[in-house]
């Protein structure tokens, strides 16, 4: 049975495990997914769940990473391959970024506009832990085997 791939929404996420390359029809733009403990708020309160998310929009050309109150085009966060026409080189560069900078790190998705245009930033693990306690998701957090 295939896992349903979730889209990121405003909230806080802690990604863990390894990023997975998405299989699809578009072989020029390789996508990735990863598991995360996601904590979101809505009218009914705080919701926490471990799900598989599409993480490709985090480093797309239309997304923004916030660093010390400055906006950076998210696609400039990772090293572009020497051969821009090689889909395998692009996939390798993206996977390396996700492995080194996203996995076992907490982020906050600040806003999501149409076409998965995302504004996001890294947050301290301690802030994520506090929110997990508030969401009564400490048991989910303890299920994640990371070096937190």
Helix (H) or strand (E) holding 44: none
pLDDT at 44 over 90: no
Domain residue spans of the chain:
5-143
pLDDT at 26: 60
User: Is 60 within 8 Å of 116 (Cβ atoms)?
Assistant: yes
What's the predicted TM-score (pTM) here? Answer: 0.89
> For 7-11, 62-66, 144-148, which range has the lowest pLDDT when averaged over its residues?
144-148
**Centroid of chain to Cα 89:** 21
pLDDT at 90 over 70: yes
Q: pLDDT tens across 99-125, in order?
A: 999 999 999 999 999 888 999 999 999
Bridge partner list, 63: none
Banded pLDDT at 28 (limits 50, 70, 90): low
Six token digits for residue 1: 């049975």
- Mean of pLDDT over the chain: 89
Instruction: Residue 13: name the closest of 132, 147, 98 by CA.
Output: 132
Give percent of the chain above pLDDT 90: 65
CA angle 41, 42, 43 (to 5 degrees): 140
* Dist. CA 4–CA 17, nearest whole Å: 17
Banded pLDDT at 146 (limits 50, 70, 90): very low
* Dist. CA 122–CA 47, nearest whole Å: 20
């Amino acid at each position: 049975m295939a896992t349903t791939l979730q889209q990121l929404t405003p909230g806080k996420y802690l990604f863990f495990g390894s990023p997975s390359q998405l299989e699809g029809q578009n072989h020029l733009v390789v996508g990735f997914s990863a598991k995360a403990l996601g904590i979101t708020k809505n009218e009914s309160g705080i919701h926490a769940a471990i799900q598989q998310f599409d993480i490709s929009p985090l480093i797309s050309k239309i997304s923004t990473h916030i660093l010390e109150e400055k906006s950076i085009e998210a696609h400039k966060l990772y090293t572009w391959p020497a051969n821009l026409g090689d889909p395998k080189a692009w996939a390798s560069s993206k996977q390396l970024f996700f492995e080194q900078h996203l996995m076992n790190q907490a982020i906050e998705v600040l806003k999501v506009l149409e076409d998965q245009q995302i504004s996001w930033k890294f947050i301290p693990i301690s802030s994520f832990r506090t929110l997990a306690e508030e969401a009564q998701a400490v048991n989910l957090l303890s299920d994640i085997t990371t070096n937190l």
